[in-house]
Structure 1
């Protein structure tokens, strides 16, 4: 019925899929926020592995660098710097719950009809006739044509991060 070839790529896909599913299930199962963030990082690493299998090495690198690294560390810093001594559970009001359900159903319907009515002709899913090294092109454009904006953004992010730490320490 199914023509499945058992090889290394299939095994790697299975391992990454299990890692992502287990991380997602643990993410919603854990009660401690730090454990949730670590489970989310496992999902990000599994997604990076999937990108490697799809031969999108740049996306895999960005996934590990940005999501598994920076976002997870930023969330852990946020958890550590907030005050958890007075943690009262907020009661969910029925109106908020109903509006959230209506919004989720409306979003699902919108996406369903947008995908259903989309024109996918011309998307054969094959490889392009001329393949280029996208990572090389992105690197050359970033470090040759846009060096100054790149450095300014890195300085701006560093200043914002230091400012956030200074503000968090003043309140504590």
Structure 2
């Protein structure tokens, strides 16, 4: 058992993956546990950034940058504007069931045990993964050659949705 842990920690890539995975899981747990919306949003941003770190470790740099730009940046700012523009009551809810957290801890530990047992008993095929020389270049080639029609349809769909949101906002203003 200790030999497996030592061989796991021997690679910096494994350590970085483990740290990013723990931060992503921790951010998700904090996001579900916090009661204030701004704190929940901060924990969600931590989860998004940790996922981008996982993508970097997995050599998917383009997806990592998109993750940071779209989710950690744009979605988080959009949620902050949504919070700022809506009215909130400042009342805190008291926990209704004090034993709820204990059951959650037992359930999480049981789920961790089942997943750990499944991972330890799984036979994974060995081999090396040969990634492309430049992932971003390959994604660009595929996006603008083989998948150009879906790409353009998505841009038209997003433009129509944006115009529809403006029209709905104008109607509510009048």
Range of TM-score over shorter length = 0.5 to 0.7
Cα deviation for residue 46 of structure 1 reads 0.4
Unaligned runs of 5+ in 1: 90-122
Q: Distance in 1 between matches of 2:169 and 2:153?
A: 24
Aligned to 1:139: 140
User: How does the TM-score come out when normalised to structure 1?
Assistant: 0.59
Deviations 1:32-66 (A, max 9, x none): 11110111110111011011101122322332233
Q: Distance in 2 between matches of 1:165 and 1:80?
A: 17
State whether structure 2 residue 34 is matched by structure 1 residue 33.
Answer: no
Unaligned runs of 5+ in 2: 94-123
After superposition, residues 4-153 of structure 1 pair within 5 angstroms as: 4-85=8-89, 124=125, 126-127=127-128, 131=132, 133-143=134-144, 145-146=148-149, 148-149=152-153, 151-153=155-157
Asked whether the equivalents of residues 60 and 135 of structure 2 are also in contact (C-alpha less than 8 Å), the reply is no
State whether structure 2 residue 173 is matched by structure 1 residue 170.
Answer: yes
Q: Distance in 2 between matches of 1:130 and 1:43?
A: 26
Query: Size of the alignment, in residue pairs?
Result: 143
Asked whether the equivalents of residues 142 and 150 of structure 1 are also in contact (C-alpha less than 8 Å), the reply is no
User: How much is the aligned-residue C-alpha RMSD, in angstroms?
Assistant: 4.0
Q: Distance in 1 between matches of 2:92 and 2:16?
A: 43
Q: Distance in 1 between matches of 2:164 and 2:127?
A: 43
Secondary structure in structure 2 of the residue aligned to 1:4: helix
Structure 2 CA distance for partners of 1:125 and 1:134, relative to 1, 3 Å: farther
Structure 2 CA distance for partners of 1:126 and 1:65, relative to 1, 3 Å: farther
Structure 2 CA distance for partners of 1:76 and 1:161, relative to 1, 3 Å: farther
Secondary structure in structure 2 of the residue aligned to 1:22: helix
Asked whether the equivalents of residues 9 and 15 of structure 2 are also in contact (C-alpha less than 8 Å), the reply is no
Structure 2 CA distance for partners of 1:170 and 1:18, relative to 1, 3 Å: same
Q: Distance in 2 between matches of 1:59 and 1:21?
A: 19
Q: Distance in 1 between matches of 2:159 and 2:136?
A: 24
